[in-house]
Amino acid sequence: MNNKVSLITLGCSKNTVEAEAVAGLFVKDGFEITGDLTQADIIVIHTCSFIADAQKESEQCILSANNLKEKNKNLKIYVSGCLPQLMKNEFIKKYPFIDGYVGTGGFEKIVKLIKKQKFFSSLENPSGVNNFKKRILSTTLPTTYIKIAEGCNHRCSFCLIPQLRGNYKSRTIKSVVDEAKALAACGIKELNIIAQDTTSYGIDIYGKPSLVTLLDKISNISSLKWIRLLYAYPLNISNDLLKVISERKNICSYIDIPIQHSNKNILAKMARPLNTVKVIENIKNKFPGITLRTSLIVGFPGETNAQFKELANFVKQNYFENIGIFGYSDQEKAKSFKLKNKVNQKIIEERKQILASVQFENVIKNNKAKIGKEFEVFVEDVDKNKACCRTEFQAPEIDGVTIFNLKNKKIVPGQFTKILVSNFKDYDIIGKVI
């Protein structure tokens, strides 16, 4: 069979890791990976349907791939991930032109299924932990993600993850550490730890939260310069965890904690922890050196002006260096879909803008405070006389960047160097090489 494969990955970094694992399996079985869709014999689309916009993007991508198939009748199209898992038997009815699909629990089998050259459908139990031993990294920079668990035990009313990915299932400490060592041996310097909920790591297999133990072992890999924790659920953020983050030199003093809201009534409707505000205040009071990032949802069903104002006032406290602001998105199979008093889309957009303005004032204040200070940075791109990079408090893809003038310095992407902050422009920091 023809063996050129193009992989299209949609959604978050967790999907990226899975797609890299699939790419490794293809290469192991003699396939060739190509980024040119017009040269591909096979297109595999790894989908996301976490929110309505993500589902729409996945469906549009499938239709675009079919346009290529109409021009090349020999082209095969396969779909994996969340969308088939969500749509189940309706999937093939809606997309009869595809050649096969797997859900979130069977992507490791996709290569073997494709080699059979027959139509296949597989929607296995999505709670299993996937194999990431043969990943083909999708970037040439020494930075990547490491996935420590699959699924989620929380039942947030707006979220489909447990339906799509199953209950929480941790990888063993050994498997994660072995992968981290292998990545470090390949030259990786920055490792971003991800899962649907990183702070519940280990509860299912060790009987207690074991993220501290895992971080302790990973941080002993001396060639890893930055280890960053993302997607931390508020409930299991302990002082022991905060202590290891603040004390270990190669663990970034940075945590991404998606809190979604601050009002207790809205949090109750979301089925989120009601002590969220206390958790954040505890971190900033006891460990002020740790940079926090969060995600917020505005316009949740029933959100009143007073409840939104409470959220805006909480953001004004400047606990968070970076914030992702999202408007509530209805998903038919989510529990929140049945809630009454839906907020008008125009009001949702207005609230997003108001919250962004509040946070922008914090960003300006925080960036002003950085002028005259030194920071180590990771260089991502060099263009003529300027370099684009990140500090340890700027996570890849989601936060602002740091820019400095090269001034004839020989600096290349992937390098770490030190800069002195001289200015800023909106969300981005401007500095000069020391």
Tens of pLDDT, residue by residue over 229-245, are: 999 999 889 999 999 99
What's the total number of domains in the chain? 3
Question: Is 137 inside a domain boundary?
Answer: no
- Domain CATH for 107: 3.40.50.12160
pTM of the model: 0.89
152 contacts: CB under 8 Å, gap ≥ 6: 159, 161, 162, 165, 167, 168, 196, 197
Place of tokens 């096969």: 100
307 plus 407 within the same structural domain: no
| CA–CA dist 219, 201 (Å, integer) | 16
364 plus 379 within the same structural domain: no
| Residue 414, helix vs strand vs coil | coil
Rounded-to-5 percentages of helix, strand, coil across the chain = 40, 25, 40
| CA–CA dist 286, 315 (Å, integer) | 19
Tens of pLDDT, residue by residue over 169-209, are: 999 999 999 999 999 998 999 999 999 999 999 999 999 99
The predicted model gives 419-426 an average pLDDT of: 89
Q: Is 345 exposed, middle or buried (0-12, 13-18, 19+ CB in 10 A)?
A: exposed
Question: Is 134 inside a domain boundary?
Answer: no
Other CB atoms within 10 A of residue 373 CB? 11
Place of tokens 């700027």: 394
Residue 11's pLDDT band, with cuts at 50, 70 and 90, is confident
17 plus 80 within the same structural domain: yes
Pick the last residue of a domain from 369, 390, 419. 369
Question: Is 82 inside a domain boundary?
Answer: yes
19 plus 168 within the same structural domain: no
Pick the last residue of a domain from 337, 369, 401. 369
What pLDDT is recorded for position 363? 93
| CA–CA dist 81, 17 (Å, integer) | 12
What pLDDT is recorded for position 185? 92
Question: Is 229 inside a domain boundary?
Answer: yes
Tens of pLDDT, residue by residue over 27-63, are: 888 888 888 888 888 889 888 887 778 888 898 999 8
Question: Is 132 inside a domain boundary?
Answer: no
The token duo for 232 is: 């931390």
| 113-116: Cβ within 8 A, 24+ apart | 114/42, 114/76, 114/78, 115/1, 115/29
49 plus 175 within the same structural domain: no
- Domain CATH for 389: 2.40.50.140
The predicted model gives 243-264 an average pLDDT of: 95
The predicted model gives 311-324 an average pLDDT of: 96
| Residue 198, helix vs strand vs coil | helix
Question: Is 354 inside a domain boundary?
Answer: yes
| CA–CA dist 22, 136 (Å, integer) | 8
65 plus 180 within the same structural domain: no
150 plus 102 within the same structural domain: no
pLDDT greater than 80 at residue 105: no
Pairing of strands 251-256, 291-298: parallel
The predicted model gives 124-145 an average pLDDT of: 73
| CA–CA dist 149, 129 (Å, integer) | 7
Query: In the chain, what percentage of residues exceed pLDDT 70?
Result: 97
299 plus 387 within the same structural domain: no
211 contacts: CB under 8 Å, gap ≥ 6: 198, 199, 201, 202, 229, 236, 241
383 plus 426 within the same structural domain: yes
The token duo for 229 is: 């924790």
170 plus 302 within the same structural domain: yes
The answer to whether the CB of 82 falls within 8 A of the CB of 16 is: no
pLDDT greater than 90 at residue 409: no
Specify the higher pLDDT residue, 124 or 247. 247
Tens of pLDDT, residue by residue over 357-388, are: 999 999 999 999 999 999 999 999 988 888 88
405 plus 363 within the same structural domain: no
- Domain CATH for 206: 3.80.30.20
Host domain of residue 260: 143-369
Residue 125's pLDDT band, with cuts at 50, 70 and 90, is low
Pick the last residue of a domain from 90, 122, 154. 122
| CA–CA dist 392, 245 (Å, integer) | 12
What pLDDT is recorded for position 235? 87
Of 112-116, 197-201, 339-343, 373-377, the least confident: 112-116
Question: Is 224 inside a domain boundary?
Answer: yes
141 contacts: CB under 8 Å, gap ≥ 6: 380, 413, 414
What pLDDT is recorded for position 132? 63
What pLDDT is recorded for position 129? 59
238 beta partners: none
Question: Is 114 inside a domain boundary?
Answer: yes
211 plus 82 within the same structural domain: no
Q: Which amino acid is at 156?
A: C
**Mean pLDDT score across all residues of the chain:** 89
The token duo for 57 is: 């993007």
